[in-house]
Chain A
Amino acid sequence: GEDVEQSLFLSVREGDSSVINCTYTDSSSTYLYWYKQEPGAGLQLLTYIFSNMDMKQDQRLTVLLNKKDKHLSLRIADTQTGDSAIYFCADPQGGTSYGKLTFGQGTILTVHP
C-alpha cells in the first residue's frame, strides 16, 4: 500500500531555519500537502505543491519536491517559538486530489528561545 515516512522529532533554535523531510511511495499524486497541528487541536493546511512543480515559496515557507527520489521537504525560515507544532506531510490515496490522504507519522518541531 501507499506509505509516507517522516522523521519524528526536530529541535531548532529561534531564528534558525527548520527543514522537515518526507518520503512517499505513490508517484501519481496531483498534489502533495503539508499540514500543521498545534497541541490538542485539529490540523490546518499549511501549504501544498502541485506535482509538476519543483519548488513553491510562500513567505517563510519553502517546499521542495524531488519527484525522482519521491522526496518532499518543508523549510521554515526564521523559525519562531509559535512554529512549535506537529507537521504532517500527506499524499492523496490513489493519486486523486480528493480528501482521502495518507499521512506521515508527523514531525514534532520544538523551537527553543
Chain B
Amino acid sequence: DGGITQSPKYLFRKEGQNVTLSCEQNLNHDAMYWYRQDPGQGLRLIYYSQIVNDFQKGDIAEGYSVSREKKESFPLTVTSAQKNPTAFYLCASTDRNTGELFFGEGSRLTVL
C-alpha cells in the first residue's frame, strides 16, 4: 500500500542532543514537507523540498535541518539550537495535480 512512514512514533531525548526523524514515502511524489504541531496553534511549516537535492526554509526553520538525497526520503534533524523542540512532527508529500497533502502518522518528540 502506498503511503508515508514516519519513525519513530515516540522519541525522548535529553536537552542539548540532536535527533533525526525519519520520513519515507512510496507515493512517487516529488514534493515533501515537514510541519510542526503544537496544541492550539495548528500546523506550521518547517522545511519543504520540491525536488531531490533541493529544499527551502518554511516559516519556522530555525534550529532544524533537512536533506533530500533520495526522492523517497526527507529526514528532519532537530538540533540543540531549537529552543522548544517538544512537539508533534508531521511529514507530508503532495500530489502535484490536486495539491492534496498526504500525511504520515507523526512523530512525538519530548525533550527532557
Contacts of B99 in A (CB 8 A): 30-31, 92, 96-99
CB-nearest residue of chain A to B43: A103
Among the stretches A10-18, A37-45, A76-84, the one at the interface with B is A37-45
Interface string of A15-47 (1 = CB under 8 A from B): 000000000000000110101000011111100
Q: Which residues of A contact B106 (CB under 8 A)?
A: 40-42
A53 interface residue per 8 A CB criterion: no
With both beta carbons as reference points, the residue of chain A lying nearest to B100 in the complex is identified as A45
User: If A96-B99, A98-B94 touch, does A42 touch B104 (CB 8 Å cutoff)?
Assistant: yes
- 5 more A-B contacts (CB under 8 A) besides A98-B99, A99-B93? A41-B105, A98-B50, A98-B96, A105-B41, A105-B42
- 19 CB contacts below 8 A, A to B, read A4-B42, A8-B40, A30-B99, A31-B99, A33-B100, A33-B101, A40-B105, A40-B106, A42-B4, A42-B92, A42-B104, A42-B105, A98-B94, A98-B99, A99-B101, A101-B101, A103-B44, A105-B40, A105-B41
